[in-house]
Every structure is written in C-alpha cells, then in structure tokens.
Structure 1
Amino acid sequence: MTATTIDPAAPVLVTGASGYIGSWIVRRLLEAGRTVHGTVRNPQKASGLEHLHKLSDDHPGQLKLFKADLLDTGSFDEAMAGCELVMHTASPFLLQGVDDPQEALVRPALEGTRNVLDSVNRTPSVKRVVLTSSVVAIYGDANESRDVPGGVFTEDRWNTSSSVDHQPYSY
C-alpha cells in the first residue's frame, strides 16, 4: 500500500467547521499554514461563528466559509472544489429536546455523509477523505463495558445498546 501525497498548497475542506471537533481541526490546519474551506449552515449568522471569524482574522486569507447543509444534495460541491483532503465532521449534535430523533439526528447524519461522499465522487481533486466519529460508535451504555474483554475497547467493538429511541445521538 502506498501513501497518497496531499499537496500542502491545496485547500482542505472541513465540514461542520463551527462544531467542537471541526473548530479544533480548522485551528490546527490554519496554525500549520494550510488554507481551509469550512462549511457551516449559515456563514452570515450573527452569532455562533465568532471563534471562526477570530481564526480568520488571525490567519488572513487562509479560511473561507461556505454555506452547506447535510440534507442539500450538492451543497458541498463549491466548498470542495480544488481540495485534495476532505475532513467530514458535520453531524447534528443534540442530546435533549429532540421530538423526532430519526429526523433530527439519524437521517441528517446518514444522508449528510452520503451527500459529502457524493460530492467527493464528483470532485476530481479529492485524494483522501477522513470521516470523524466519536467514542459512542463503540460504546453506548455503561452496561456494554462489562462485556469488553479486559475492559479495553478496540476497533472490533461496536455500539449495540443505542437505538433511535435510546441514546439516538449515539445511534
């Protein structure tokens, strides 16, 4: 297997740039001198993007925000153009007050990932995709820890206790 070389001059796309993980990735990329295309639901939003505007001010010309929505087919195309690396962190994150977990969490996470990957397939410059996840992919309930050999979770373990009705974000 050979490693794919990513051009350090090519922009990197970070989906969900305003989220916790996305924001840290954006920051580290900017500090490393990279150009970042970040997607957010609304780049013109009056509040909630201050941290990204500060990063943009601290790294002039290196950060460009694009409007994209997980459920809008093709909405990642413009932001992805010219990028060789795509880091997909966008996913709805709600732990309370969710009336319809399937619509608020599960469908956007699944369809959003499909939409990002469909954009990748339409974008010839993309060489690598990084899909981020969470510990909840392998661990839903504390009860699951009792069944883990030696108490160590590995890539062989998957969350089996979460569902659309029980811990839907983890699901």
Structure 2
Amino acid sequence: MASDTHMVTGGSGFIAIHLVNQLLQAGYNVHTTVRDLNNTRKVQPLRSLQEKYLGKLELFEADLLKPGSFEPAMKDCSVVHHVASPFLMAEKIKDGQKEMVEPALQGTRNVLNSVNSTESVKRVVLTSTSKNSISTGLQFRAAVRSD
C-alpha cells in the first residue's frame, strides 16, 4: 500500500481529476487544489471521490496567480503534480501572450516557489495538454532547453 501523499494542482480539471482518481486507486493520500471550494459544479466530482476514498483526499483552495497559496496543500506532501493552467476557449482569446502564456508561466513559478519552501516535497511532475498542439494562429517561440 502506498504511503506517500501527492499534491495535484487544478484538481477540478479534466486531466487532474483523472490523475487524482488514479493516485487514490493506487492507495496514495492526495491533496488537491481548486480555485473556489464553493463552486459546487466544479467540486462535486472531487467530493464524490472523497466519499469513495474516505480520509484519503483533502481539498484546498488555491489561486494560481497568488504567491504562497499552494503551500497549505503542499504541507507533508512528497510529490507535487502541477496540472493547473489558465484555460480559455480559443475564440475568446484576444491576446494569447497576456491571457494564456504569462499567467501559465507565473502560475508555474508560484507553484515551484512554494515547492522550494516546502521541505517535504522530493519530486515535482509538470504536465501539459494537447491544447499546446492545437493551432490558434498565434506564433510562439520555443524556450525550452534540455540539459
């Protein structure tokens, strides 16, 4: 039986809720974050998992763009899965850099800064989605370096 506690950002998102479910099925304790615990529609699937896996899943409220807001959820976790990212439908994006890229980068920085101040975290898993491979007509330059 697994004993580590994993933290998953953006717990109400499509990928995150599947990851939370798989971690629970594997026997892990899970902390996950959502923007608003009072948003019943978004939180209900997680509440159902809490009922199914009693005492194994804790929900926390966190804002991707607020420094330090992930620290309570990270407490005592050994692994952080950063899944949360701003999401807008392509037709609603007016300035991709400002509305998607900059908030995603700042959110990732905020999560990683919280990791740096949380001694229990030993591993970080960063995820991405197919949204990154869908053409929106916006031009982006890769800024990834592999060492």
Q: TM-score, normalised by structure 2?
A: 0.85
1:134 aligns with 2:129: yes
> CA deviation digits over 1:33-88, x for unaligned, max 9?
11100010011222222111111111111111111111000001110011000000
Q: Secondary structure at the match of 1:9?
A: coil
Partner in structure 2 of residue 111 of structure 1: 106
- Contact 2:80–2:123 (Cα < 8 Å) also in 1: yes
Kindly state the Cα deviation for residue 91 of structure 1 after the two structures are TM-superposed.
0.3
Identity among equivalent pairs (%): 46
Quote the residue 2:39 is aligned against. Answer: 45
Aligned length: 138
Which consecutive residues of structure 1, in runs of 5 or more, have no partner in the other structure? 1-6, 142-160, 165-171
Give the match for residue 92 of structure 1: 86
Deviations 1:136-155 (A, max 9, x none): 54x454xxxxxxxxxxxxxx
Q: For 1:94-132, what per-residue CA distance to the aligned partner results, in whole angstroms no more than 9, with x for missing partners? A: 123234433431222000000000001001111100000
Query: CA-atom RMSD, angstroms?
Result: 2.0
Partner of residue 139, structure 2: 163
Amino acid at match of 2:117: R
Say whether 1:64 aligns with 2:40. no
Distance across 1 between alignment mates of 2:134 and 2:40: 35
Gapped regions of structure 2 (runs ≥ 5):
141-147
Where has structure 1 moved over 4 Å in runs of 4 or more?
none
Classify the secondary structure of the residue corresponding to 1:79: helix
**1:16 aligned to which of 10, 16, 22:** 10
Which structure has the highest helix share of the two? 2
- Higher Cα Rg, which structure: 1
TM-score, normalized by length of structure 1?
0.74
For 1:74, which of 68, 78, 81 is the aligned residue? 68
Question: Do the aligned residues in 1 keep the contact of 2:96 with 2:138 (CA within 8 Å)?
Answer: no
